[in-house]
Structure 1
Amino acid sequence: MEKLSPFHVAVLVHMSQIGIVVFSLPRQLADYFGTNGWLVLLPGLLVTSFNIYLITLVHRLGDGKSVFEIMERSIPKVILYPVYLGLCAVWLIFGCMIGKKYVLLFQMIAFPTTNPMLFKMALDVLLFLLIIKGIFTISKAATFFFWITFWMYFLLFWFLPSFSWVRLTPFILQGGHDQFKGALEIYTAYLGYELSILLFPYMDKSKKSLAAIYAGNAYLSLIYICLSLISFGFFSFGQLKKLLFPLLDMLAYIQFPFVERLENMLYGFFLFLILITAAMYWWGAIEAMRRMIPKLKIPVMTFLLMVIAYCISYIPKTLDQVNNWILHLGYAATGIAFGLPVLLIALLLLQGRRVSRV
């Protein structure tokens, strides 16, 4: 049986995490945490690593079994249906809103007079064609997209000549507000790694596969830290707090004599990242729904769920409304990221006690 290699697992985790939040991350850090807010990303790495430890503990205790099998061994399916429905709803709409935000930004910078829902439909068609092929095809696409966007990270060196340590200031985390709310909001930038808990049946049981989950998350954290550090040294603190999407402003700084509006072209490459992030969340939603309706064919189920998600995407009209949806869905996804592994560990320990008594 085909299995995901450790490298593919690492790429999937990384590509599931990096998404639309990257455009506004430096501004959020400056706004909520003040001067040198990029330092908050370091404890963020530690918290996500602890959450990944809980996920790998589920893998070890459950011997790589599917999380759905683990739950169904101890809890009747009827009781689990609301849980599956909740997982499906959160992951489906979260992935949908990530795509909607990208579409609204794309419309704003490139096609301001075009109906954004036309772009959303085109994006959903691409997602449909990708998801119905299964996780192994998604993994191959993620690896391909990873390599064709990998070079973009080296663009950070372009800003080093304009980087100034003086702009960082000697003050640490001063001038911020609502830091608890900010911490929860910033944490959504890391989300995506929790979907690795669904990959257990598709990856081998070696320690390398589990280490790959840590590697994907660590690589993402490195990119976030480098981007945010350079942003704090490229813009002044006052500028950074006012810029809505600092990354787009940085991309606009890159100019060549033979190319105009280079940031529009570079923004297009982020479509590949958004595709995999949204695809993984929708794949997770379909995996949960399959436990409720196992006889329904995957293409039909995918089509129905995507129609529902597309209709829901009509509700938020503006970028602020979409951001609000993403924020609250991010809270729910964070609760799932921690709550689901804890529940599974508790069930596995109870199952182990029953076996020992027998």
Structure 2
Amino acid sequence: MKEKLFPFHVALLIYMIQSGVVIFSIPRLLAQSFGYNGWASVIIFLGISSFAIYLISRVYRLGQGRSIFEILEQAIPKFILYPIYTFLVALWSLLGCMVAKQYVIIFQMIAFPSTHPMFFKALIDILSFILVVGGVYTIAKASTSFFWMIIWMTLLLFFYFEDFEWARLTTFFFRGDTDMVMGSLDIYNAFLGFELALLLFPYVEKKGKFMKAVYAGNIITSLTYLFFSFICFGFYSFGQLTKMKYPLLELLSFIRLPFVERIENLLFGFFLFPALITIVMYMWAAVEVAKRMVPKVNVKWHAVVIFGLLYAVSWIPDVIGEVEQWLQYLGYVETSVTFGLPLLLIVILWAKKGAMNRE
């Protein structure tokens, strides 16, 4: 019997894909984009991302759980489809690569300033390669284990209640010198990852509950962002929050234990787990598309080529600002894919259904 992903694993997998290094900067992005009490805007992005998931659910129901590759290949000629596949391979592999580079540069800056970040990048690529070659079931099991290894960190929120001041939240909502349009695009990038559920159709169990699990994972991510951002808005002044690069990382530095110094370095290490799942799933998605283009080649060689090329590309941006700019632009493109790909699939399925009805 072929192994299947259960809804519980899917929900945790979606959460782990969405969560990552971006959580360190999202309080600042919310403050800069939505002003006072910008934490509340997370609810707006929950609604937008839920609509995008609804589009995916329509594809799932109309296609009766079939692979999106089957749907595309039955309707679009290969000479048109292969450039689309190439685009998706490049986009998803670059996203995974830049997430890895962002994490290792921050880790290098706070813990090992004299070590070249590409050394850590190579180590993360090796771990990612092992998981990608293991397949989506191995990745899902690893993400479930990683989830239980990091979820306890939410309890750290209670540490800050003593210094939390309600007066810092003010009575104003979404007021101040803000840029909501471009800022919203940057914030929405923090919710990306659920769109990879499109590739999970052939691997899931209990088909009626699959999409509910995707919604659940997105809700867990949104609540995590909401709670951490709420604490940051009440712990820091609004002026401080807009100027800090990584408010949550600064927040961790306030924890003091008598037997551990610089505990934020230790806590930051735990964020490798969600970052690793984000990297692995985008790389896995790129490999899945590459397999459709060249099906006769072993999956390990697909992974070797993609990881090798992307390790070379990752040398190009060498400072954190450049890496985050790459991620920003890639996020804009991925946002269009998040809505565009499901809509394309829905149109294809509707057209096919209409043709069958006419017959």
**Fold in common (TM above 0.5):** yes
Query: Once the 2 structures are TM-superposed, how far is the Cα of residue 176 of structure 1 from its aligned partner?
Result: 3.1
Aligned mates of 1:59, 1:273 — CA distance in 2: 26
Query: Once the 2 structures are TM-superposed, how far is the Cα of residue 297 of structure 1 from its aligned partner?
Result: 0.6
CA contact (8 A) 2:65 2:201 kept: yes
Deviations 1:281-334 (A, max 9, x none): 011111111111111111111011001111110110110000100000000111
Aligned mates of 2:342, 2:114 — CA distance in 1: 45
Kindly provide the amino acid, as one letter, of the partner of residue 72 in structure 1: E
Deviations 1:170-226 (A, max 9, x none): 111122322100000000000000001110000035321110000000010000000
CA contact (8 A) 1:30 1:176 kept: no
Aligned mates of 1:310, 1:349 — CA distance in 2: 41
Say whether 1:192 aligns with 2:193: yes
| Alignment correspondent of 2:78 | 77
| Alignment correspondent of 1:155 | 156
| Alignment correspondent of 2:263 | 262
CA contact (8 A) 2:93 2:286 kept: yes
| Alignment correspondent of 2:234 | 233
CA contact (8 A) 2:85 2:293 kept: yes
Say whether 1:347 aligns with 2:322: no
Q: How does 1:8-19 map to 2 (within 5 A)?
A: 8-19=9-20
Aligned mates of 1:176, 1:273 — CA distance in 2: 33
| Alignment correspondent of 2:101 | 100
Aligned mates of 1:205, 1:267 — CA distance in 2: 36
CA contact (8 A) 1:64 1:205 kept: no
Aligned mates of 2:49, 2:13 — CA distance in 1: 16
CA contact (8 A) 1:107 1:116 kept: yes
Kindly provide the amino acid, as one letter, of the partner of residue 63 in structure 2: G
Say whether 1:65 aligns with 2:73: no
Structure 1 residues not aligned, in runs of 5+: none
| Alignment correspondent of 2:115 | 114
Query: Once the 2 structures are TM-superposed, how far is the Cα of residue 354 of structure 1 from its aligned partner?
Result: 1.6
| Alignment correspondent of 1:279 | 280
Kindly provide the amino acid, as one letter, of the partner of residue 308 in structure 2: V
Deviations 1:14-59 (A, max 9, x none): 1110011101000111112211111111110000000000001100
| Alignment correspondent of 1:26 | 27
Aligned mates of 1:61, 1:48 — CA distance in 2: 20
| Alignment correspondent of 1:247 | 248
Q: Say which SS state the counterpart of residue 253 (structure 1) adopts.
A: coil
Say whether 1:209 aligns with 2:210: yes
CA contact (8 A) 1:63 1:205 kept: no
CA contact (8 A) 1:110 1:264 kept: yes
CA contact (8 A) 2:7 2:206 kept: no
**How many residues end up aligned between the 2 structures?**
358
Aligned mates of 1:156, 1:96 — CA distance in 2: 31
Q: Say which SS state the counterpart of residue 305 (structure 1) adopts.
A: helix
CA contact (8 A) 1:131 1:279 kept: yes
| Alignment correspondent of 2:41 | 40
Say whether 1:164 aligns with 2:165: yes
| Alignment correspondent of 1:329 | 330
More divergent stretch after superposition (322-331 vs 148-157): 148-157
Q: Say which SS state the counterpart of residue 192 (structure 2) adopts.
A: coil
* Runs of 4+ in structure 1 over 3 Å off: none
| Alignment correspondent of 1:182 | 183
Aligned mates of 2:207, 2:25 — CA distance in 1: 37
Q: Superposition RMSD on alpha carbons, in Å? A: 0.8
